[in-house]
Structure 1
Amino acid sequence: DRLTVLFPATVTDIPEEAKPRLRHLAEQVLRLPEAKLQLVAYAGGGESDAGKARRISLARALAVRSYLMEWQISHTRFDVRALGNRFKEGASDRVDIIVVSR
């Protein structure tokens, strides 16, 4: 399973329209006690903005993690990766959530 949350440029708060999909994902993950969640976050910006892009991507990943933790998903089930502006394809301002079943 995979879910992508898109963000407006430089925004780190979870968009309201993404919250129902995140709730649904949380409900699914709670039924899979062995599953882990990889949060891979990105942010747009040029090479000169690499540090800023990494900070924004980290803030987005942590916002998604906090929101999912509100639905009783343990912090030990998350792997957070803030990749900043290092993306090859897809939208630049996003968090990809990948469910890894064991």
Structure 2
Amino acid sequence: MRSLAFALAGLGAAAAAAQQSPAAPSVTVPFEPQSVEIAAAGRGALEVLAKSLSAGDGRQIEVRGYASGEDTGEARRMALARALSVRSYLIDQGVKARIEVSASAQPARTAPKERVDVTVP
């Protein structure tokens, strides 16, 4: 019974610490339709994210590209090209982390559309 009380107290402390910790950094980079070029606003957001990551801290970064279109295969290729473009930009900015890249093609009538989400879990 006593060990259960200690375990519950530990869980409460862990929950309180989790509530106080800052949210994981994330950036959404918008793209023009049929483009893999990162616009100025996207570059600025990525630069801020890159500066917030300490060099070589061993974090993992998730880069997920999205694109829409009637041809799902072409949309997926576009989404992947966008994600790889963002990955290259982060590397050029000196980010030394493991960068996981993925892509998703969505039908033109549904969200998400024309963007890349970057998260640091």
TM-score norm. by structure 1 comes to 0.83
* Two-structure CA RMSD over aligned residues (Å): 1.9
Structure 1: state its 5+ residue gaps. none
Does the 8 Å CA contact 1:61/1:95 hold for their aligned counterparts?
yes
TM-score norm. by structure 2 comes to 0.71
Select the structure of larger CA radius of gyration: 2
Residue 10 (structure 1) aligned to one of 12, 22, 34: 34
Identity of aligned residues (%): 34
Structure 2: state its 5+ residue gaps. 1-24
* Dislocated runs of 4+, deviation >6 Å: none
Residue 31 of structure 1 and its aligned partner are, at CA, apart by 5.6
Residue 19 (structure 1) aligned to one of 43, 46, 61: 43
Does the 8 Å CA contact 2:47/2:93 hold for their aligned counterparts?
yes
Aligned length: 95
Q: SS state of the match for residue 30, structure 1? A: coil
Report 1:4-83 matches (<5 A): 4-30=28-54, 33-46=57-70, 49-74=71-96, 77-83=98-104
Residue 4 of structure 1 and its aligned partner are, at CA, apart by 0.4
Q: SS state of the match for residue 34, structure 1? A: coil
